[in-house]
Each structure stands twice: as C-alpha cells, then as structure tokens.
Chains A and B, each alone.
Chain A
C-alpha cells in the first residue's frame, strides 16, 4: 500500500534528476507486457506526477513519439503533470455518495481547504481531487487521504480529517 509520502513541495528536483527517476521507474516494470500506458502508470507511481522529462523518456523507452505518449497521458484522468501537494484528498461524488450527502462533504472540504475546485491549496501543500467512485459505496459518503479510505463521512468529520492534514 502506498504510504503517500512525497517530497515537500518546495524542493523540486532538477530536470536531470526527474529524467533519471523516470528512467528508473520505466526500467523497473516487472510485468511481461510493457506499454506506453503501463510506463506512464509506473512513472506516476514513482514521481506522483508526469513531468515533461518523463514523457520524453517514455517515448524513447517505448520507441514511440512524444505526440503518441501525450495522447495517452492526456486521456486518462488519473495522470497529472504538475507536482501534487504533500497529501492528496479524494472526495467521491458518485451516486451512492451523492445520495448520502457527498455534496455537503465536498463543500465543507472546499471551505476548509480554501479552494473552489479540484487542485492544490494556495500554499501548494494539499491536493483535492474529485473521484467518480472510490469503491467503498456501502460506507458512503467516502473520502480518501493518500489512497486510504475513510467512510461514513459527515461534513464535520471530513473537516476534522482536513484539519489534521493541515496541522501535519
């Protein structure tokens, strides 16, 4: 399970380092079938986003083109192209969560984070994402912090989760 630890947002690695880390991620894929998509997933698992350098390295690794790699990377909504915050909060807006009050949870999380839509907080430390379904529908409404599920949320309990992250 990913522990969600990420480099602090103010220490961005150099371009050479991003290239190196992308290459390492590309080369350490274990499964028999390696594709552009599997490569992008491997890079994002390692770096938490897809820098331009990784697009180029993936194209080289897969004997593909930058255009073709971009066409895949821009299609799947899990890929992101800027570094995320230190922690990521997913809030589900799928219908099971919706009918159990997800909109109120979402609005409260917006307020606590001081944001009006998906993305990073002003200090860049926390990332908010909207999720179409986190898969724990029976415990709706559900949020996740760094991929760890938290169910049966209320606006107040979601606010408490966000507060804890802000203090962390």
Chain B
C-alpha cells in the first residue's frame, strides 16, 4: 500500500470509529431528492434545532426505500442502528429525543434495525436485511447508499473506498485493469448494454496525449433516478470508477456531465472532485504513481437528446445538443475532436467493485449473458416505489412488483409496465413473467434501458399513457432531422384525436407509416425509435384503441374529457 493512501485510510478509519462509537449518538437523515420531496429537509432542520450538540445529525443519500421516507436512522454510540420510517417534522423530535433519553428505541414507530445485536425493546421489528425491499437486493453500486455522508470523502475511504484505485495503481498496469473489466462481462447500463471492456478497448490503444472519459448523468428518462441516486448518496463511487476508467484507457481527462437544476447531484459531484484533488486522488501523480488525471463537472441545459453520446459532446462544447454524424466515432474523434469514451454513471460505478473484488466475483452476480446487477427504479401504481439494486435476471417483472414493490396500490390489478424510457411503450400481462435483464426484456417490445420501470394499474388507458409518452418525445425532439421533428408532432396530434374519440380509420396505419419514415430518416435513437411506444401499445392493448375509435369511449375513463396538459413546442 502506498504511504499516501495508508495515511488517508488510517485517518478515515479513526474518524469513522468516532462517528459510530464516539461520545455522541449519530443520526442520519435520508435527504436525497426523494427524501426532500417527502419533507426530510424539515425533519432535518427540526432535529438539528432540537438536539443541538447532544447528537451529530448528518444528511445521507436515499437508501432507495423512497416509500419509507422521510427515513431517520438513529445510532447510539457503539450500538445497532434503528430506522424510523415516514417520520416528518411534526413527530421526529419527540420520537428521536425519547429514544436518545431512554436509550430504548420506540417499537411503535420503528421500521427496522441493522447491526450485530437487536436493540433493546424492539420486539418483532425486522432486521433491515430481512425487509422484503432489502432482502432481494445485491447492492454493488449502491453499496453505501444511506450509510455515509455523500459529501465526506473520509467516510467513503473508511468503508473501503478508493481501495480499488489504490490496488490498480499499486499492483496492476492499465492493460490488466482493462482485462479485468473485460473479463467481468460488464455491459453499459445507459441502455445500449454494449460490453464496457470492449468500448474501453477502442480508446486504450490510441496514443493521443489528450483523451477523455465522459460520464453521462444527463438522465433525462422520466421515471429513472438511479444515476442521480448514486451521485446523491455516494458520488465517490462514481468518481473512483471514472478514475479507474481513465487509468485503464490511458486517458488524461474525465468529465461528469449533469443536467442543470439537479442541485444535489451537481453539488455532491463538485464537492467529491474538489476533495479528491485535495487528497491527491486526482491531479498530478495520483497517490504518488505515474498516473495523472483531471476531472471536471460540466452542466447541460434541459434537453433530453443531450444524453445521446455525440449530442452530449456538443453540449459539453457549449453548443446545441444535437447528434453528430458518425463516423468519425467518439473513440477516434470525440469531445473537442479528441478520442473519447462515454459511459453511464451506473456502468462506471461498478468499476470499483470489479477491481476490488475481482472479475469473477462480479460475474458471480447476475446471469451469464449479463453479469452484475440491475438498479431498478420502480414507480407508478405500486405500494412501495423506490430504487432497488437486484442481481440481473434474478426476478421477473411480476416478482419485482409483487415481492419487492409490494404489489399494486389499493388492491387493484396490474395492467401494464413501461420500461426503458419514453421511447418504449407499455407491455401487458404476457410480458409480466419476463426476467429482468437486458436480453430478456429486449425480446419484448420494451427495453431495460437505464432501469426505470413504471407500473400502471387497471385504471390506465394505454392510449392515454402513450399520448403522454409521445408528448414528451415531441417536446424533446432536438429538431435536427425533420422526420423526427415533424413526425413526433403529427404522431401526438393523431393520438390526441384518438383519445378524444375522433380517430379516423386510417390513423393507425398513418402512424405506422410515419414511424417507418422516422426510423429511416433520423440520425439518432430519438427519431429512430419514435414509433416504438405506439407499436408496443398496439401490440398489447389494441382493444383500448378500438374502444376509442369504434365505441367512441375511453375503456377506463382515464382520458376524461380528452384534454391533456402538456407543453407543445418544437425547438427553433
């Protein structure tokens, strides 16, 4: 171990001990974007005001148990952690103060506990690892979510952070890091599922002095928040992965690319980069090695297409985020004309675990065609919406909904799921038993994409949902290719007509024809896949369309009076 890293680790471990077993209780408040939306900020403020110096109160990222937020984690010095769920500002001070004063957890309000010994007085409250939302998980990229303060480098290091980088720099040359990633079978988690090691292999041999590894956290898919979830809960996991990618590909620079306005991911990433520089984990001669690497955080304006890899480079260069023609491919001429690689946040966040524990350990999770985990964001009509990291192929969609997400709300039945982002449509009952992995979901009309799975119950009308998805796609067409720009607009108008019971007999054929032109005449996936949502809805839910067209009524009433509030604009 390098002297520099040994010092960092020693200091970090001492600090961690004083946090978990020092003289004051430690209270962690889940305050990611979902926690904020649940009112955790108010709970945090109330706690800090009421407790003063009696306890240390920190905010941590979301553990993914969004349904339980605000989630408050109380740890008396040296004791097990006790979690309280749905604890808002009105109750939090009472519950936590009495726990601190009596030394006994409040069994009526507690949700779970975690540690070696069952805390006194907790009765039948479950262990965290036994919760139906935690037990099926294999947490690799989200390993420390909810455990550590995302803005404290030391807490990451104390929990095994940067040991993979240290191992790589100390014991491995770049080629063996690349081989390890190749052997792990890691595939890109942005949606395309391209083998990551192969992609890195395009960049590695290029002798150019300036080469970029770009991390894509544009995350424009509505319903997906796992990239932001990683940056909110443990940005150093991503940063360590980005540095490893730089080392494996002999690159000089990394860029973390985030949409403006997403305050927590932006601030956390900036702080992580700044602290890593200060600790010698970035910059010249990292940890005393020969490897030097710079990272910066770049922001994009609001544009869904900015998540497309060449449009992303345009945005970093400060231009309109419209896709480029290929070739040249990014590995030959990418950002600023230099050789570049683009990886998703989740993809890079697996690199530390692959290097630390080895390719075989990673391959031991998941299935042969796709190793590792899927970080699912399950939302919509379920009882327990949240972010759940499960082994690839370990659950079917139905199992994920029923066993993990707690089934459909209000005792209703599941009608559809929609996965892979707004360019994929709803899938019906025939698809519910599909295992969740890239290839299985890819054989339906859907895609695992970046992991967002939206669940619709029996009250959903497929025409209504597809109209919403297509309105998004229309709004977000970058306008460069006219088949996409105009096709999306006509598609939305046609769906609007159908949902208002004024569909014309040839409307379905018309949309199919438009879709074919968009597929042929668009430069990127946005236009190419533009007809997908409609095709999928027609495959599984043609009766919903027929009801609107033949019987002139919405099959479920979801379309109401036929109005839908959406912005409609095309980019100038």
- List A residues at the B interface (Cβ < 8 Å): 1-2, 31-33, 35-41, 62, 71-72, 74-79, 92-100, 103, 106-107, 110, 118, 130, 132-140, 142, 147-152
Q: Does B240 contact A (CB under 8 A)?
A: no
Query: CB-CB < 8 A to B567: which residues of A?
Result: 93, 118, 130
Query: CB-CB < 8 A to B348: which residues of A?
Result: none
Q: In the assembly, what is the distance between CA of A133 and CA of B304, in Å?
A: 10
Interface string of B540-572 (1 = CB under 8 A from A): 000000000000000000001000111101011
Q: In the assembly, what is the distance between CA of A39 and CA of B456, in Å?
A: 41
Query: CB-CB < 8 A to B535: which residues of A?
Result: none
A130-B565 contact in complex given A96-B222, A138-B225, A139-B66, C-beta closer than 8 Å: yes
- List B residues at the A interface (Cβ < 8 Å): 33-34, 36-39, 41, 66-67, 69, 219-225, 228, 260-263, 267, 294, 296-304, 315-321, 377-381, 385-387, 418, 422, 452, 454-456, 460, 465, 468-469, 471-472, 475-476, 478, 560, 564-567, 569, 571-572
Contact B304 A132 (CB under 8 A): yes
For A2, the closest partner residue in chain B by CB is B263
Contact B261 A72 (CB under 8 A): no
Chosen A-B contacts, 8 in total, with CB atoms closer than 8 Å, are: A37-B299, A38-B298, A75-B301, A94-B223, A100-B381, A132-B222, A135-B33, A138-B379
Q: In the assembly, what is the distance between CA of A39 and CA of B318, in Å?
A: 9
Given A35-B316, A36-B319, 6 further pairs, Cβ under 8 A = A71-B320, A72-B301, A72-B318, A133-B223, A137-B379, A139-B69
Q: In the assembly, what is the distance between CA of A40 and CA of B318, in Å?
A: 9
For A118, the closest partner residue in chain B by CB is B567
A140-B379 contact in complex given A74-B572, A98-B465, C-beta closer than 8 Å: yes
Contact B565 A137 (CB under 8 A): no
Q: Tell me the total A-B contact number using a CB cutoff of 8 A.
A: 175
Q: In the assembly, what is the distance between CA of A14 and CA of B454, in Å?
A: 48
A76-B302 contact in complex given A32-B296, A98-B468, A137-B222, C-beta closer than 8 Å: yes
Q: In the assembly, what is the distance between CA of A136 and CA of B380, in Å?
A: 12
Contact B565 A133 (CB under 8 A): no
Contact A137 B385 (CB under 8 A): yes
Q: In the assembly, what is the distance between CA of A146 and CA of B21, in Å?
A: 39
Q: In the assembly, what is the distance between CA of A41 and CA of B263, in Å?
A: 13
Query: CB-CB < 8 A to B228: which residues of A?
Result: 135
Query: CB-CB < 8 A to B39: which residues of A?
Result: 150
Contact A95 B385 (CB under 8 A): no
Contact B36 A149 (CB under 8 A): yes
Contact of A103 (CB < 8 Å), options: B225, B377, B381, B564 = B564
Contact B465 A99 (CB under 8 A): yes
For B322, the closest partner residue in chain A by CB is A75
Contact B454 A136 (CB under 8 A): no
Give A26 Cβ to nearest chain B Cβ, in Å: 13
Contact B34 A139 (CB under 8 A): yes
Contact B37 A149 (CB under 8 A): yes
Query: CB-CB < 8 A to A135: which residues of B?
Result: 33, 219, 225, 228, 262
Contact B223 A150 (CB under 8 A): no
For A151, the closest partner residue in chain B by CB is B37
Contact of A93 (CB < 8 Å), options: B316, B465, B468 = B468
Q: In the assembly, what is the distance between CA of A151 and CA of B88, in Å?
A: 13
Contact A99 B385 (CB under 8 A): no
Give B417 Cβ to nearest chain A Cβ, in Å: 11
Contact B300 A76 (CB under 8 A): yes
Q: In the assembly, what is the distance between CA of A147 and CA of B262, in Å?
A: 9
For A73, the closest partner residue in chain B by CB is B301
Give A52 Cβ to nearest chain B Cβ, in Å: 16
Query: CB-CB < 8 A to A94: which residues of B?
Result: 222-223, 472
Contact A150 B37 (CB under 8 A): yes
The 10 closest A-B pairs by CB, nearest first: A35-B318, A76-B301, A94-B222, A151-B37, A138-B66, A149-B37, A133-B222, A138-B385, A136-B37, A96-B379
